[in-house]
Amino acid sequence: MKFKTIFEPFKIKSVEPISMSTEEERTLSLEEANYNPFQLHSKDVLIDFLTDSGTSAMSSKQWSAIMDGDEAYAGSKSWLKMEEEVKDLTGFEYILPTHQGRAGERILYGYLGGKGKIFISNTHFDTTRANIEFSGAEAIDIPIAESAEPMLSHPFKGNMDTDKLKELLKKHGSKKIGAVILTVTNNSGGGQPVSMKNAIEVSNLCKNLK
């Protein structure tokens, strides 16, 4: 008899202990937090699914990069290396670093947004919507209808409804629409994937907007 061994192809370089809790304790913690995961204390969380922003163990290369990093306030060699990579990937001439995506959103939508502006997305992420609406603009979600049916099997429930997008583009026009945002994967829509076909269709519709 042959046995197939399944294992992860890496070693963990650091270990952080977590507190084990019972189902009753977790239920009580949720009740005390009014079922808002942002109000939970991390010590009461057994497995953290609240974010995908890098809360797992780092690799040995990441740890070594931290030790070799240049934390200078200006002219950092670490920043110059990152700037070069970002310019190569995007083709953009100017790069503005921020400590987190949320901070970048605050700057971006403070510039693109404002009263009377419309932002369209497959589903706006919570901080994205907050930064858009803080500027006085309106955030509109247009996921495909299949995304609202949990029991329905569909390979790309994160897709944007391109028929609705056509209607909104025609109705509001380029002067009123601040941006069309395709979130991949569709985090606030359950982390559902978006097809390349849908991304291309959305892009083409926006490029043809008058």
Q: How far apart are CA 120 and CA 138, in angstroms?
A: 9
Provide CB contacts within 8 A for 118, sequence distance 6+. 137, 138, 140, 168, 172, 176, 177, 178
pLDDT of residue 54: 59
Residues 197 and 125 placed together within one structural domain of the fold: yes
Task: Specify the higher pLDDT residue, 74 or 183.
Answer: 183
Average pLDDT over residues 123-129: 94
Q: How far apart are CA 208 and CA 210, in angstroms?
A: 6
Residues 105 and 70 placed together within one structural domain of the fold: no
Instruction: Check whether the bond before 185 is cis (ω within 30° of 0).
Output: yes
How many Å is the Cα radius of gyration of the chain? 22
Please check whether residue 175 lies inside any domain of the structure: yes
Q: How far apart are CA 85 and CA 76, in angstroms?
A: 15
Q: What is the CATH number of the domain that holds 154?
A: 3.40.640.10
Residue-range definition of the domain harbouring residue 118: 101-207
pLDDT digits (tens, 9 = 90+) for 40-91: 998 888 888 777 665 667 778 888 888 888 888 888 998 899 999 999 999 9
Residues 65 and 108 placed together within one structural domain of the fold: no
pTM of the model: 0.73
Beta bridge partners of 181: 121
Residues 116 and 79 placed together within one structural domain of the fold: no
Q: Number of folded domains in the chain?
A: 2
Please check whether residue 6 lies inside any domain of the structure: no
Please check whether residue 14 lies inside any domain of the structure: no
pLDDT of residue 46: 85
Percent of the chain with pLDDT over 70: 94
